Amino acid sequence: MVWNQIKTALLLGALSGLFLFVGASLGGQVGLITAFSLAVLMNFVSYFWSDKIVLFAYRAKEANPADYPRLHQIVEEVAKKAKIPKPRVFVVPSPNPNAFATGRNPKHAVVAATTGILDLLNEKELKGVIAHEISHVKNRDILIGSVAATIAATISF
């Protein structure tokens, strides 16, 4: 767990350093100050809102327990076995079979599944997929993935 937090800090530090280098190379002192401001903003946004950005990008909606009882039951059961709080559950309106986890830590985690995977898999298969995603939550891999996705979008911009 600690190693993933170190990796996240190193990733943010390295990409911030890259921003500063490019800013200074392209704009001198003004470019460096601009890049520093962007790096601070990017790191702040990445840490606190990367999960919301990912969910927005996928048009994910929070899954109502009445509409998705099987999915909620599986997420709750697997989270309990993993000894973490139950993540919030979202559904992505897409026929493509996929699932993912996002968030900055187990207390702020989200597990999302597409309508395609919900239609395709039986309960045992879906439980395996959800267990895989919960393992990302438990091991705090989700923050690195979320931060990397946000940083990639920022660099692309």
Q: Is residue 152 part of a domain?
A: no
Q: Is residue 153 part of a domain?
A: no
Nearest to 114 by CA among 51, 55, 53, 52: 55
Q: Is the pLDDT of residue 38 over 90?
A: no
Whether 133 is a known active-site residue: answer yes
Q: Is residue 111 part of a domain?
A: yes
CATH number at residue 134: 3.30.2010.10
> For residue 118, what are its two tokens?
């919900």
Tell me the pTM: 0.78
41 and 111 housed in the same domain: no
pLDDT band at 10 (very low <50, low <70, confident <90, very high): confident
The active-site residue out of 76, 123, 125, 133 is 133
3-class DSSP state for residue 64?
A: coil
Average pLDDT over residues 27-55: 85
Q: Are 115 and 95 in contact (CB under 8 A)?
A: yes
82 and 27 housed in the same domain: no
Q: Is residue 155 part of a domain?
A: no
21 and 86 housed in the same domain: no
Pairing of strands 110-114, 99-102: antiparallel
